[in-house]
Chains A and B, each alone.
Chain A
C-alpha cells in the first residue's frame, strides 16, 4: 500500500458477475463464491536462526502469532498468519492500513525478508456444502474433512495452478493464486461449480 490514494483493481474486474448460476437444485446453490478484495498480503521469510524471534515480533507488530507447524494457519477475526514453508508465512487482512509498514517497523531487515504481495494475488472464498467437491476436481490433496480441517492451509497444484488453500471452517476455503492466473482460475472454478449450482456474492 504505497499510496493510499491509488485504489487496487481486482484481477477479476472485467468478468466478476454476482448472481446465481448453474444447475441450482430446488433454487439452491451448492457453492457460494466471492472474491476477497482488497487484501493486505505480506510475505515474511525469516533468515536462518531467526524463526522464533520473527514469530514473536510479528505477534507484537501485527497482533497475530504465526505457527512454525507446517500447513497451519492461525486466524483471529481480522487477520491470518498462514504457513507457506519453513520460516515463511503470509500475513493477510482486509486492507485498512499499511500492513507492510506495520510489520516492517518491528521485523527488521536482519531478521526477515518482508515482501508486499497485496497486488499480486487473486483470492476467492468458496463456501457451501459442495465446496470440497469443487476443489476435489482440481487437486490431488486429500480433501476429506478429517484430513483437511479448519486451521489447515496447504499449498498445492489446483487445476494446474499453484494455489494456497486455507480451510476456515468445515465447508469454507480461501484460495490464493497468482494474480495473472486470476481470470483462468475464476473461470475454472465457476465451471467446476456449475453442476452444483453456484452463487457469486459481493466481494468481501
Chain B
C-alpha cells in the first residue's frame, strides 16, 4: 500500500487520495497561436516512464488540497510531495 506524505496532514494511506494525472502536462492555453497539434498532444499524448514520475494527487478524504507527488512507477516509492503550486526540487 502506498503512503503519501501530504504537505499539510502528514503521511496518509493512498486510499485517502485520488490520482489527478500527469503533472508534467502543461495546458497550452486558449490563445489563437495554440495549434491543433498542441491540443492533440496535451489531450492524448503521455510519456510512460519506468522510474520517477511527477503526478497530481488530490487529498480528497483529507484536507482537500491538490498536491504534486514524485513517485517511482517501478517501485512505488514516493520520493517527494509538495503543494501543487510549488516545484518539486530544482530539476522540474
Q: A residues bordering B, Cβ < 8 Å?
A: 70-71, 84-86, 88, 140-141, 154-157, 162
Q: DSSP majority for the A interface?
A: strand
Contact status of A70 and B65, CB under 8 A, knowing A140-B16, A156-B16: no
In the complex formed, the residue of B with least CB distance to A85 is B63
Q: Is B19 an interface residue (CB 8 A)?
A: no
Interface residues of B (CB under 8 A from A): 8-10, 12-13, 15-16, 60-65
Which residue of chain B has its CB nearest to the CB of A142?
B11
A70 and B8 contact, CB distance less than 8 A: yes
Residue in B9, B15, B60, B64 whose beta carbon sits within 8 Å of that of A154 in the complex: B9
Residue of A71, A86, A157 near B61 (CB, 8 A) is: A157
Q: Is the CB of A86 within 8 A of B63?
A: yes
Q: What separation, in Å, do the CA atoms of A84 and B65 have in the docked complex?
A: 10
Is B62 in contact with A155, judged by CB distance below 8 angstroms? Answer: yes
- Chain B nearest CB from A49 CB (Å) reads 14
Interfacial chain A residues near B64, Cβ < 8 Å: 84-85, 88, 155
For the complex, give the distance between the alpha carbons of A157 and B13 in Å.
10
Chain A-chain B contacts (Cβ-Cβ < 8 Å), number = 40
Given A85-B64, A86-B63, A86-B65: A157 and B16 interface contact (C-beta under 8 Å): yes
Q: Are A86 and B16 in contact (CB under 8 A)?
A: no
Given contacts A70-B9, A140-B13, list 8 more A-B pairs with CB under 8 A.
A84-B63, A84-B64, A85-B63, A140-B15, A141-B12, A154-B9, A155-B64, A157-B15
The residue in chain B whose Cβ has the minimal distance to the Cβ of A86 is: B8
* B16 and A85 within 8 A (CB): no
- Which residues of chain B are within 8 angstroms of A157 by Cβ–Cβ distance? 15-16, 61
* Contact A155 B15, beta carbon cutoff 8 Å: no
Q: How far is the CB of B53 from chain A (nearest CB, A)?
A: 23
Would you give 17 A-B contacts (Cβ < 8 Å), ordered by A? A70-B63, A71-B8, A71-B9, A84-B63, A84-B64, A85-B62, A85-B63, A85-B64, A88-B64, A140-B12, A140-B15, A140-B16, A141-B12, A155-B63, A156-B12, A156-B61, A156-B62
CB distance from A30 to the nearest CB of B (A): 26
Who on chain B is nearest to A157 by CB?
Answer: B61
| Inter-chain contacts of A71 with B (CB < 8 A) | 8-10
